[in-house]
Structure 1
Amino acid sequence: MKKKVAVLLSGCGVYDGAEIYETVLTLLRLDEKNVEYQCIAPDLPQRHVIDHCKGEEVSESKAGGAHARNVLQEAARLARGEILPLDQAQPDDYDAVILPGGFGVAKNFSSFAEEGAECSVEPSIRQFVQAFYQARKPIGLMCIAPAIAARLIAPGILCTVGKDAGVEGAMISMGSLHKTCDVDDIVVDNTHKVVSTPAYMLATRITEARDGIFKLVDKVLELA
């Protein structure tokens, strides 16, 4: 039977949503493996909007402001419109879930960008991912997503953000186990069925990100 994977997106754009290259590489590898996938995103206000040319916040762009954006609507850009609202997604329909990185994970899925080790995770995101964890289905985390693993999934999970000492310290204080990892490799926690890779926490070229992401997708499918 053909496998189906949920790809959970936090918007569109590295500084305020899902990392575009990481998402596209994930979808590319799934398609190369002849695996069905569904892009999913929560119908929530985006924390703020970043001008990706200047790296600065757009005026009045905070959630509820005149220029606020919506995570689901932004993720739909990345998914070419083929997006499913999180509240309509059923974990039982999927064999695994993968979370690309991007600051949307640290801003829209959680408060990690502002609060670090004191962060909280958006309840709807946690509930969805927890369903995979409880069902012993594999979970793929890339880039900054492993930083919130202890709050998103459970303490004691072995994962990686590469070689960022600051993020690693926050992860450990929340209860994660961190393993240093090169950009083209993965860390596998077989006990919890969690696979992680640094991706653009370390990548300077798309080919560097590709190698680790392809390995992550392949391992998630092997565990599914």
Structure 2
Amino acid sequence: MSKKVAVVLSGSGVYDGSEIHESVFTLLALAEAGAEVQAFAPNCDQMHVVNHLTGEVADGETRNVLVESARIMRGNVLDIAQANVEEFDALIVPGGFGAAKNLSDFAVAGSGLTVNPDFLALAKGFHDAGKPIGLICISPTMTVAICGEGAECTIGTDPETAAAVNATGAKHVDCEVTSFHVDEDKKLVTTPAYMLASNMVEAKTGIDKLVSSVLSLA
């Protein structure tokens, strides 16, 4: 019987939304494993809009996280408020700055981050139900909000970001880009992806392993 996985996106584009390569690699790995996928995103404005050609904030421009996430999903994405944990076996969240700007405010608040309430309710629902969660790239900064203090996770090897993760109450574990870390007790799987990746192959390798691990725990 195929597993059903909820994938939460945070917009479209590395600087202000979901990292597109990470999102596509996640969706591809799930499809190759025969999993059924439904994507969700918060129906809210992005923290800001970034011109991906220049890297500069586009002053005065606004975009909706759900609408932008639809670009990646070819329209097949639902408001996260509609998600029901009981309908799924697992949850996976790709990275990109949207995870630190739209799903949470880690990009500005660091270890004092708060998490989007609709996303947090869903993610905690998966954790409370004992269903596995996969967090990719910068998304593990939300580990403690979802899984509680002491949960193990990785964002790779960056000392400053790892220190911020530890300051939230999580236990950061250094990890190479093509690998992943599993907190067996919390059923939490994390991988660095573009926190470390220098090319698509490196990012995809770690994400493939994360997806396989998440599905094996489901």
TM-score band w.r.t. shorter chain? over 0.9
Q: 2:134 aligns with which of 140, 143, 146?
A: 140
Q: Does 1:30 align with 2:30?
A: yes
Return the alpha-carbon distance in structure 2 between the equivalents of residues 115 and 192 of structure 1. Answer: 25
1:11-60 deviations in whole A, cap 9, x for unaligned?
Answer: 11000000000000000000001110011101011110000010000021
Q: Does 1:113 align with 2:107?
A: yes
* 2:196 corresponds to 1:208: no
Q: Contact between 2:40 and 2:79, CA under 8 Å: does it hold in 1?
A: yes
Q: Which moves more between the two structures, 119-128 or 208-217?
A: 119-128
Q: Normalization by structure 2: what TM-score?
A: 0.99
Identity of aligned residues (%): 48
- Does 2:42 match 1:48? no
Give the corresponding residue for 2:157.
163
CA contact (8 A) 2:127 2:146 kept: no
Name the structure 2 match of 1:175.
Answer: 169
In 1: Cα distance, 2:34 partner to 2:70 partner: 22
Look up the match of 1:21.
21
Give the count of matched residue pairs. Answer: 218
Kindly report structure 1 stretches of 4+ aligned residues shifted beyond 2 Å. Answer: none
Unpaired runs of 5+ residues, structure 1, are: 61-66
In structure 2, runs of 5+ residues without a counterpart are none
CA contact (8 A) 1:126 1:153 kept: no
Give the Cα separation in 2 of the matches to 1:6 and 1:208: 24
- Alpha-carbon distance, 1:89 to partner: 1.2
Q: Per-residue deviation at 1:153?
A: 2.8
Note the C-alpha offset of 1:152: 3.1
- The match for 1:131 is 125
Cα shift at 1:151: 1.9
What is the aligned-residue RMSD (CA, Å)? Answer: 0.7
Alpha-carbon displacement from aligned partner over 1:97-147 (angstroms, at most 9, x marks no partner):
000000001000111000101111111111000000000000000100011
Scaled by the length of structure 1, the TM-score of the pair is 0.96
Distance in 1, matches of 2:176 and 2:102, equals: 27
Partners in 1 of 2:113 and 2:131 — Cα distance?
A: 25
Tell me, what secondary structure is at the counterpart of 2:5?
strand
Supply the distance in 1 between the matched residues of 2:209 and 2:29 (Cα, whole angstroms): 9
CA positional deviation for 1:148: 1.9
Deviation at 1:162, TM superposition (A): 0.3
The equivalent position to 1:83 in structure 2, one of 74, 77, 101, is 77
Does the Cα contact within 8 Å between 2:147 and 2:186 map onto a contact in 1?
no
